[in-house]
Amino acid sequence: MKAYRVSGTAPFGSQRQPFSYDLPAEDADAATHKVYSLLGSRHRVTRRSINIESVGEIDPRTSTEPTVLHHFRDEIAAKGGLIAQAAEEE
């Protein structure tokens, strides 16, 4: 399994909004299918109305999604922990 980041736009309510999901999957097609499934079940969005713009493999240490962190916890610990995100300015 690898970690993928899928991003695009979908209709949420009366307007189209961008989305981005990090998730573990076997390949890019499986990641795309999972995003279609998640958006359809959570927001009642059809596959035809979802516009996926990019699907890319990512380093699991850069993700903040709990499912990715849980799935790759041994690998993340072996490589020395999470890669620090840029701190937000207050």
pLDDT at 84: 59
* Domain 2-58 annotated CATH 3.10.20.10: yes
Q: Which of 17, 47, 49 is nearest to 35 (CA)?
A: 47
pLDDT at 30: 97
pLDDT at 79: 86
Residues of the chain where predicted confidence (pLDDT) is lower than 70: 84-90
| Angstrom distance (rounded) from CA 85 to CA 62 | 7
Break the chain into its structural domains and give their ranges. 2-58
pLDDT at 39: 95
**Residue with structure tokens 């961008």?**
18
- pTM as predicted: 0.84
Q: Which of 80, 57, 55, 81 is nearest to 69 (CA)?
A: 81
| Angstrom distance (rounded) from CA 65 to CA 85 | 13
